[in-house]
Amino acid sequence: MPTERLTMIGTGGHAKVVVDALLAQGWTASAIDFMTEDESAVGGTFFGQPIQRLSSESPVDQPVHIAIGSNAARGRIAALLQTRGAAFFTIAHPRSVVSHLSRVGDGCFIAACAVIGPDAEVGLACIVNHGSIVDHDCVVNDFAHLAPGSTLGGGVIVHANVLVGAGANILPRVTIGLNAVVGAGSVVNRDVPANSTYAGVPARQLHETRT
Ligand SMILES: CC(C)(COP(=O)(O)OP(=O)(O)OC[C@H]1O[C@@H](n2cnc3c(N)ncnc32)[C@H](O)[C@@H]1OP(=O)(O)O)[C@@H](O)C(=O)NCCC(=O)NCCS
């Protein structure tokens, strides 16, 4: 066990999946301090543990995992905590497959049945969700989220803050630009510009990304 206690930020659906992965690794929920910005959840419980308010004074003296699916929220909270010297903790479900020849950044979540191939690089606080495949030589930049069942062919580049929707397939060597969104079920066979939303088979631009 790499650390004895962990702070987890987020108590929504994605956080439930992350805790499930920790329990599968042998953690107990009582070793996790849960925090949130969601005032309606503060004071309640999550996996039987009290939920505390995340504030600018919250302690960062133990490793932190931001278990929030939204790339924008994850990135914003990470930036705040980074300035206070927080260390981010990566969690990989024991039934994920992460090549020893890949490099996975701090604060990532690798879900069950996800695969990360050799010489792939994954940046800070990314989510490689259930059954998602990052093939050899891909580069996935900070705060990207590869939704369940999405596939990156070999050599794909995913820039920061990108959402690749559930079940989407990105063909080999395609580049997905900064902040772009790829719709669920899409097949992307050409580069996607920054700040745009592409969807369909083959994927076409729907509109500029809504913030
Ligand atoms: C692509 C996406 C972002 C578009 O959302 P949006 O901006 O709200 O777009 P709308 O729902 O208004 O749809 C706009 C048009 O695009 C079409 N469209 C939306 N999503 C599509 C998709 N995935 N594939 C093909 N067409 C799609 C809609 O049918 C609509 O077409 P119309 O104008 O002919 O009726 C969204 O549909 C999507 O796929 N999100 C990914 C969800 C996901 O996988 N989340 C992961 C959770 S873990």
Q: What digits encode the pLDDT tens for the residues 100-137?
A: 999 999 999 999 999 999 999 999 999 999 999 999 99
Q: What is the pLDDT of residues 81-93, one digit of tens each?
A: 999 999 999 999 9
Query: Could you tell me if 110 and 168 lie in one domain?
Result: yes
The predicted pLDDT at position 109 comes to 98
Q: Whose CA is nearest to atom 25 of ligand 1?
A: 200
Q: Are residues 71 and 43 in the same domain?
A: yes
186: helix, coil or strand?
A: coil
- Average pLDDT score over residue span 38-57: 96
**Residue that wins the pLDDT comparison between 20 and 2:** 20
Kindly list the protein residues whose Cβ atom lies closer than 6 A to any atom of ligand 1: 69, 129, 147-148, 165-166, 181, 183-186, 197, 199-200, 206
% pLDDT > 70, the chain:
97
Q: Which of 83, 116, 135 is the last residue of a domain?
A: 83
In angstroms, rounded to a whole number, what is the distance separating the alpha carbons of residues 1 and 173?
37
192 occurs within a structural domain? yes
pLDDT of residue 209: 65
Do residue 34 and residue 52 come from a single domain?
yes
- What's the pLDDT score for residue 95? 98
Same domain? 10 vs 39: yes
Task: Give the CATH number for residue 99.
Answer: 2.160.10.10
Domain range for 76: 6-83
Q: Which amino acid residue places its CA nearest to atom 15 of ligand 1?
A: 206
- Nearest alpha carbon to residue 114 among 99, 127, 97: 97
Among 206, 208, 211, the mutation site with the greatest number of ligand 1 atoms within 8 A of its Cβ is 206
Can you tell me whether residue 76 is helix, strand or coil? helix
* The amino acid at 78: A
> What pLDDT band is residue 211 in, cutting at 50, 70 and 90?
low
pLDDT number for residue 208: 72
Distance 81 CA to ligand 1 centre (A): 33
Mean local confidence (pLDDT), 163-179: 98
Q: How many residues does the chain have?
A: 211
Distance CA 19, CA 21 (A): 5
Q: Are 198 and 183 in contact, with CB atoms under 8 Å apart? A: yes
Q: Output the average pLDDT for the chain.
A: 96
Closest CA to 132 of 90, 184, 177: 184
CA of 37 to the centre of ligand 1 (A): 28
Q: How many domains does the chain have?
A: 2
Residue 209 within a domain: no
**Do 198 and 187 form a contact (C-beta atoms < 8 A)?**
no
Q: Is the pLDDT of residue 1 over 80?
A: no
Output b/e per residue, 123-159; b: 16+ Cβ within 10 A.
bbbbbbbbbbbbbbbbbbbbbbbbbbbbbbbbbbbbb
Residue 40 lies in a domain: yes
38: burial class by Cβ within 10 Å (0-12, 13-18, 19+)?
Answer: middle
76 burial (CB, 10 Å; 0-12 / 13-18 / 19+) is middle
Span from the CA of 199 to the centroid of ligand 1 (angstroms): 7
Task: Answer with the one of 83, 111, 144 that is the final residue of a domain.
Answer: 83
pLDDT at 210 over 80: no
CA pair distance 196, 132, nearest whole angstrom: 22
Positions marked catalytic = 136
Q: Residue 122's pLDDT is what?
A: 98
Question: Is residue 117 one of the residues assigned to a domain?
Answer: yes
What is the rounded average pLDDT of the residues 175-181? 98
Say yes or no: 58 and 135 in one domain.
Answer: no
What value does the mean pLDDT take over residues 44-68?
A: 95
